[in-house]
Structure 1
Amino acid sequence: MSIKSFYVAGGVAVLLLLGACTKQLKNDLSDPSNASKEKLAASAAPAPDPDGLKLHTFLRANGPAYESYTVSLQESASFTTKNGRKYTIYRNALVKPDGSPASGTITFTVKEISNAAGMIFADRPTATNTGAPLESFGEFFVAASQGTTPLRLRKDSAISVQVPAKADAQRIPMWNGDTSITVNTSGYTYLNQFITLSSTVSANKGVDWQQITNPSSAYALFDGTNGTLNFRLDSLLKWTNCDRLMSLPNPKTTVLAYFNSNYNPATGSSFGGEEPTMLYFKPAGINSIIKFYNTIFTPPPGFEGFLSYQNAIPVGQSGTFLAISSIGGQFYAEQKTVTIAAPPAGKNYTSITFNPVPVSATTLIALINSMNTK
């Protein structure tokens, strides 16, 4: 877990605790029992930038949708999503909030992300918590309820999942993803009492993937008899990723992305996940999206933008960038295919320049969808 401190006028300190948080994004499903606590904490959250909020609302509205399935869980039950993923639930696997078994009619709510466009629309890029890029075989979010009662998995139980896959996917690591950061805002009340308020907001990195260590759920295994990857979901209301680390033997460099125009300066202070300018990179021919979310500190004009993790991008890697901005109600975008160059002599980084141009909503959707074929 990393900690960043920001000091502002009036003696107020904002601490951003990045890492393993337990709550999901507000646009994901969450435990209704937390609603009152989240409402109370929301007063401490930084107000979202209106341009960033407009952009992220637009992306979510055009991205992967939730699917709902109803089953009768007397013994075991299963359902298959429109993308061909089969979920199997066994008797007594689900329990109510009081710990009693749930049987009878159960509703499952599922969101699946299977391609680069979906990763951009839903802001679910593929990279480890240290910045190592991952090749994705699918990202999954599952919730269960009985009427208005939320359900959870009984300890040591799981939902079995079968995902169509090619034979090269033999043994793929599994990852759990958190989508939040906790914001602690401290200051003095009108009675001069020092207090701290906490709130949970979405992380600018989109999601923080941590490799699963539970032996029974740590890997997806390929079944050659039916051409599927098979794995276990051992928790609900949490993103799960079936990903393998990319094989990238080339020397690595740091990439700085400069926006010569149409960079929204509110991006650097958008702690709520609604950044008004974003940058994504898709390695050529690989089902992966890398998000550049670290902003450049104190840049001169024409050098605003983002940088990768230090020494994380392979020299010689071909791929396509998609730069997106929202400024004053107008969307801007630029798609650029590049090969990552070695740093020039005397420098420890390589740079790429972007000049996003005005685009319509329809054009922006088309640009994002075209990332699937890059």
Structure 2
Amino acid sequence: MKINSLYVASGIAALMLLGACTKQLKNDPAEAAKANLATSMAAAAPDKDGLALHTFLRANGPAYETYTVSLQESASFTTRSGRKYTIYRNSLVRPDGSPASGTITFSVKEINNAAAMIFADRPTATNTGAQLESYGEFFVSASQGGVPLQLRRDSAIVVQAPAKIDVQRIPMWNGDTSITVSTSGYNYINQLITISTTISANKGIDWQQVTNPASAYALFDGTNGTLNFRLDSLIKWVNCDALMSNPNPKTTVLAYFNSNYNPATNTSYSGEEPTMLYFKPSGINSIIKFYNTIFTPPAGYEGFLSYQNSIPVGQSGTFLAISSIGGQYYADQKTVTIPAPAPGNNYSTITFNPVPVSPSALVALITGMNTK
């Protein structure tokens, strides 16, 4: 989360708060102050350049796959990637808690490579900045006659995925695409006011390691070359990711944009930033998103920084910088080896100069990240 994102929230949540407070405003100065704060928070609407860029990326990214099965007993379906999903009898329930059987429709989105992670804005990193190597990200929903279904407690969808790995188990991670922020301050009569609301995560997604022992790891079966794991919840992103290990000293990377940085990125709290920066470690199925913006930068030093002391010195990889300004896309793709800090510094720097690109050229640059 951006540090300064504690001071804004989504307009929808703020308007709902305003409606709830309306009846009290005439008699309660503290509530009036709270409503005024909510009004200022509502001003942080999505930037039009950011909205255009993210709409473009989603349109070119991975699509949902839809499958219909009959769930009288157990049922299964196999996605285009070759992953097999198995659902057992009575594992799905309706909103009233009764078992769902008969015809069930599943919608599945899978993210399998670096380009898809960028298009869908689903990078791989923990909430502390630790780098993850992905063996697939998954989003599954189920419905019957348009009514959404849930998994019964202690049940799961079993997934079997073709894989070539040399370890026996890989951690599983749950992810949410939104975060809760709280804004606190003292009003004009010295009363502490706190407003909490949910906004889109500028990091793309917030990964947390699964704690349910039955679903915490994907297990490799060497007899048939598959990873096998359980999805114990629907309508939530799940990631099969191994923690990357690099013993080199770590540094903080500051990424400076000498040109074509959209300053609206500094106040974008909707998860739809008009300038973005991604890093792919060489030869690893992983994307790291730099989303923390540099605070009060002078001209020529606008941009992003990594988590503190999180990037290994000497790590090779490819950066992709993307901007949207006034209907024009800009990009700069740069392959680097992360340098050690200069003497006297506690950070390393990389500079970008995004140039105008066509929509098709931007798609090609993103797709090309798969081979970096």
- Tell me the distance in 2 between the aligned counterparts of 1:167 and 1:121: 26
Q: Which residue in the other structure is 2:29 paired with?
A: none
- Tell me the distance in 1 between the aligned counterparts of 2:74 and 2:148: 19
Q: Which residue in the other structure is 1:333 paired with?
A: 331
- Tell me the distance in 1 between the aligned counterparts of 2:146 and 2:119: 29
The alignment status of 1:360 with 2:353, answered yes or no, reads: no
Q: Cα 1:57–1:106, aligned 2, differ >3 Å: closer, same or farther?
A: same
- Which of 42, 53, 56 matches 1:55? 53
Q: Which residue in the other structure is 1:295 paired with?
A: 293
- Tell me the distance in 2 between the aligned counterparts of 1:306 and 1:5: 14
Q: How far did 1:224 drift? A: 1.3
Conserved in 1, the CA contact under 8 Å of 2:219 and 2:228? yes
Conserved in 2, the CA contact under 8 Å of 1:177 and 1:240? yes
- Tell me the distance in 2 between the aligned counterparts of 1:106 and 1:195: 47
Q: Cα 1:307–1:85, aligned 2, differ >3 Å: closer, same or farther?
A: same
- Which of 247, 252, 256 matches 1:254? 252
- Which of 268, 271, 277 matches 2:269? 271
- Tell me the distance in 2 between the aligned counterparts of 1:365 and 1:258: 23
Q: Which residue in the other structure is 2:123 paired with?
A: 125
- Which of 92, 95, 113 matches 2:93? 95
Q: Which residue in the other structure is 1:31 paired with?
A: none
- Tell me the distance in 1 between the aligned counterparts of 2:7 and 2:350: 32
Amino acid at match of 2:261: Y
Q: Whose helix proportion is higher, 1 or 2?
A: 2
**Please, what TM-score do these two structures have when normalized by structure 1?**
0.87
Secondary structure, counterpart of 2:363 in structure 1: helix
Q: How far did 1:247 drift? A: 1.3
Q: Cα 1:5–1:278, aligned 2, differ >3 Å: closer, same or farther?
A: closer
The alignment status of 1:14 with 2:7, answered yes or no, reads: yes
- Tell me the distance in 1 between the aligned counterparts of 2:304 and 2:167: 33
Q: How far did 1:201 drift? A: 2.6
- Tell me the distance in 2 between the aligned counterparts of 1:196 and 1:147: 41
Conserved in 1, the CA contact under 8 Å of 2:9 and 2:199? no
Q: Which residue in the other structure is 1:116 paired with?
A: 114
Q: How far did 1:14 drift? A: 3.0
Q: How far did 1:3 drift? A: 9.3
> What pairs with 1:1-374 in structure 2 (closer than 5 Å)?
4=3, 14=7, 40=16, 45=42, 46-182=44-180, 199-374=197-372
Q: Whose strand proportion is higher, 1 or 2?
A: 1
- Tell me the distance in 1 between the aligned counterparts of 2:17 and 2:234: 23
Amino acid at match of 1:177: G
- Tell me the distance in 2 between the aligned counterparts of 1:96 and 1:146: 9
Greater Cα shift, 44-53 or 278-287? 44-53
- Tell me the distance in 2 between the aligned counterparts of 1:367 and 1:147: 41
Q: Matched residue pairs, number?
A: 346
Conserved in 2, the CA contact under 8 Å of 1:259 and 1:355? yes
**Please, what TM-score do these two structures have when normalized by structure 2?**
0.88
Which ranges of structure 2 fall in alignment gaps of 5 or more residues? Answer: 19-38, 186-191
Amino acid at match of 2:86: T
Amino acid at match of 1:49: D
Amino acid at match of 1:295: T
Conserved in 1, the CA contact under 8 Å of 2:13 and 2:197? no
Cα RMSD between the aligned structures?
2.6
Spell out, residue by residue over 1:64-101, the C-alpha distance to the aligned partner (whole angstroms, 9 max, x if none).
00111000000000000011110000000000011000
Which ranges of structure 1 fall in alignment gaps of 5 or more residues? Answer: 7-12, 18-35, 188-193
Spell out, residue by residue over 1:166-218, the C-alpha distance to the aligned partner (whole angstroms, 9 max, x if none).
0324210000001102356789xxxxxx9977653311000111001111000
Q: Cα 1:183–1:240, aligned 2, differ >3 Å: closer, same or farther?
A: same
- Tell me the distance in 2 between the aligned counterparts of 1:215 and 1:136: 20
Conserved in 2, the CA contact under 8 Å of 1:16 and 1:182? no
Amino acid at match of 1:322: L
Secondary structure, counterpart of 2:246 in structure 1: coil
Conserved in 1, the CA contact under 8 Å of 2:164 and 2:225? yes
Q: Cα 1:41–1:48, aligned 2, differ >3 Å: closer, same or farther?
A: farther
Spell out, residue by residue over 1:249-276, the C-alpha distance to the aligned partner (whole angstroms, 9 max, x if none).
1000000000000000000100000000
Amino acid at match of 2:163: A
Larger radius of gyration: 2
Greater Cα shift, 199-208 or 97-106? 199-208
- Tell me the distance in 2 between the aligned counterparts of 1:111 and 1:225: 27
- Tell me the distance in 2 between the aligned counterparts of 1:3 and 1:57: 22
Conserved in 2, the CA contact under 8 Å of 1:217 and 1:231? yes
Conserved in 2, the CA contact under 8 Å of 1:132 and 1:245? yes
Q: Which residue in the other structure is 1:29 paired with?
A: none
- Tell me the distance in 2 between the aligned counterparts of 1:147 and 1:195: 44
Aligned-pair identity in percent equals 78
Spell out, residue by residue over 1:267-306, the C-alpha distance to the aligned partner (whole angstroms, 9 max, x if none).
0100000000000000000000000000000000000000
- Tell me the distance in 2 between the aligned counterparts of 1:172 and 1:40: 42
Conserved in 2, the CA contact under 8 Å of 1:262 and 1:325? yes
